Amino acid sequence: MLEALYVFFNPLLLQVQLLCLGGKPYVIAGTRAKLRKRENFGHRSLNLPSHSETPTKNDSHYWQMDHIDEIYRNRIAALTRALYAIRCVKEDNVPCKIEEGLFLGSVGAASNKNALKSLNITHILTVANLSALDWSTHPNDFIYKTINVADREDTDIAQYFDECLDFIDEAKGLGGGVLVHCFVGRSRSVTVVVAYLMKKYHMSLSQAMEHVRSKRPQAAPNSGFMLQLQNFEKSLQEDKGVATNEIEQQG
């Protein structure tokens, strides 16, 4: 698996791909990464553009340069994720037990089939945009659910709480276990697990976070997710208050 990942994201091959577009060699020049075609790519020096060559929005190649910039950024981001995934697979590949039937971890834990089987994990909840890392899945061995979200402060992860919590309950109800994971196992997956503990056991946010960190010390949802968990805590308290009033009225 690691060999396949290395071949796919081989840094040398990536570098060649970045510099060869449309079958023609290009080199990067200028502050906005203007790419100029070089017929003699074997020449080692870069022909830096003069000031008059600096691209503008009126440049017919301006849109192409922006597109190439985007390709470059995406490939570098993919390479970074892949290299970190290799590290997770090697160093952070054991699911952390939060409670009976509920586990938390990184993409490394999600790819460790032997550990998953030994812990009676039957369901895997992926809370991340990991389409580039499909090699980490075992579709014939586990039941998957994917919540495709980015680890950003402005991501509305709370909208997925209900379906995530239902998936966890489903796995446990069937006598199995569920691994909740994201890429690093620090923010997105932690947010979902904390929300589950808050709703299932009427824990406060601080109690749920303390419990999760006692099992996985690196747990640290981003500030936007923490704010959503605070709002979730308030909504749970309001629901509890309404339920209490209804019981008192019936009595």
Q: Which residues are catalytic?
A: 182
What distance in Å separates the CA atoms of residue 206 and residue 216, rounded to the nearest whole number? 15
Place of tokens 């023609």: 24
Identify the CA nearest to 104 among candidates 211, 27, 13, 17: 211
The answer for residues whose C-beta is within 8 angstroms of residue 128's C-beta and 6 or more apart is 107, 146, 147, 148, 149, 151, 181, 182, 183, 188, 189
In Å, the largest CA–CA distance within the chain is: 89
- Would you tell me how many other CB atoms lie within 10 Å of the CB of residue 227? 13
What distance in Å separates the CA atoms of residue 111 and residue 100, rounded to the nearest whole number? 21
What distance in Å separates the CA atoms of residue 108 and residue 92, rounded to the nearest whole number? 6
Cα-to-chain-centroid distance, residue 154: 15
State phi, psi for 44 to the nearest 5 degrees. Answer: -80, -25
Contact 236, 206 (CB under 8 A): no
Contact 105, 160 (CB under 8 A): no
Identify the CA nearest to 164 among candidates 110, 215, 128: 128
